[in-house]
Amino acid sequence: MAEVNLLTRYPKAKRNVKARMLHKEGNRRIALQFGKEYFDGTREQGYGGYRYDGRWAVVARRAIEHWQLKPGDRVLDIGCAKGFFVKDLRDALPGLDVIGIDISDYALENAHPDARPYLSKASCDELPFPDKSFAAAFAINTIHNLDRAGCRRALREIERVCPGRGFVQLDAYRTETERELFLDWMLTAKTFDTPAGWLQMFKANGYSGDYWWTVLERDESIQR
C-alpha cells in the first residue's frame, strides 16, 4: 500500500468558486444525476464539457510502468466516464485488456468510440466480476461519490477483484482552509476526509492497494 500520484502531469483545473456557489444546491442536484449537464453542461454544473484531448495518455504510461503491466493483463477502470483512460491505456500498451464501468448512462452512450466496446454499466460498490479478476484496478475520483457505507463497500470490492493492486484517488483536505474550499466547490462528493481518516477506512476494510488524494487549492487568478 503506497501513495502514488498518477496525475502529476494532468492539467490543473480552473475553478471559479464564486460562480459555482451562486446556485450551488440546484447545481449539486443536477450534477448528482451524472447526466449530460454534469459532463457537457456548464462549469457550474460539472466538467463544463468533457472531451477527449489525450490528457490521460501520460497517466496511462505512468500506470503501466508503476503496475508493471504487460500485454494480456486485465485492467479495470472504475468510474470510467467516457472511457478516455480506457482508450489511452489500450493505445499505450497494445494487448492490454482494459475495460471500464460507470454508473452514468450518458457517459457510456457518449463514450469515445475506441473505448465504447469495452465499457459497461455497474456500480463501484457491487462489481460484477469474480474474485482476483484484474492485474490492476483504478478508481479515480469515483468512490467518494458514495456515502461512507458505500465507500466501505467499494473499497472491499476493489480489494476482492484486484487484491493489493488497486488504486483509489479520493477527495481529501489537510487544513481547515482546504476543507472550506472543498465544501464550496464540490458538487457530487458525499464522503471526504483527511488522509489519516481515509487510511483508517482502508485499514478497517482490508484495502491494501495504492492511493492518492484530490486536494483543492485556491486558484489565485480568480477572486472569490
Ligand X SMILES: C[S@@+](CC[C@H](N)C(=O)[O-])C[C@H]1O[C@@H](n2cnc3c(N)ncnc32)[C@H](O)[C@@H]1O
Residues in touch with ligand X (CB under 6 A): 34, 79, 81, 102-104, 107, 123-124, 140-142, 145-146
Q: Which is nearer to ligand X, 45 or 145 (CB)?
A: 145
In angstroms, rounded to a whole number, what is the distance separating the alpha carbons of residues 223 and 201?
Answer: 35
Compare residues 75 and 81 and give the one whose CB is closer to ligand X.
Answer: 81
Measure the CA–CA gap between 40 and 34, rounded to whole angstroms.
10
* Nearest-approach distance from CB 143 to ligand X, in angstroms: 8
Alpha-helix residue ranges (DSSP H) falling in 50-131? 57-66, 84-92, 105-109
**Position 84, amino acid:** F
End-to-end CA distance of the chain: 38
Nearest to 100 by CA among 88, 114, 115, 112: 115
User: What is the CB neighbour count within 10 angstroms for residue 198?
Assistant: 22
Q: Which is nearer to ligand X, 134 or 176 (CB)?
A: 134
Q: Which is nearer to ligand X, 72 or 98 (CB)?
A: 98
Edge-to-edge strand list for the sheet holding 119-121: 119-121, 97-102, 74-78, 136-140, 166-171, 210-214
Residues in the chain: 224
How far apart CA 65 and CA 85 sit, in angstroms, is 15
Closest CB 39 distance from ligand X, rounded Å: 7
Q: Give 96 or 168: the residue with its C-beta nearer to ligand X.
A: 168
Q: How far is the CB of 223 from ligand X (least distance, A)?
A: 25
**C-beta of 114: minimal distance to ligand X in Å?**
16
Give the nearest distance from C-beta 204 to ligand X in angstroms: 20
Nearer Cβ to ligand X, position 70 or 126? 126
CB of residue 6 vs ligand X: minimum separation in angstroms? 10
Report how far residue 4's alpha carbon sits from residue 36's, in angstroms, rounded to the nearest whole number: 31
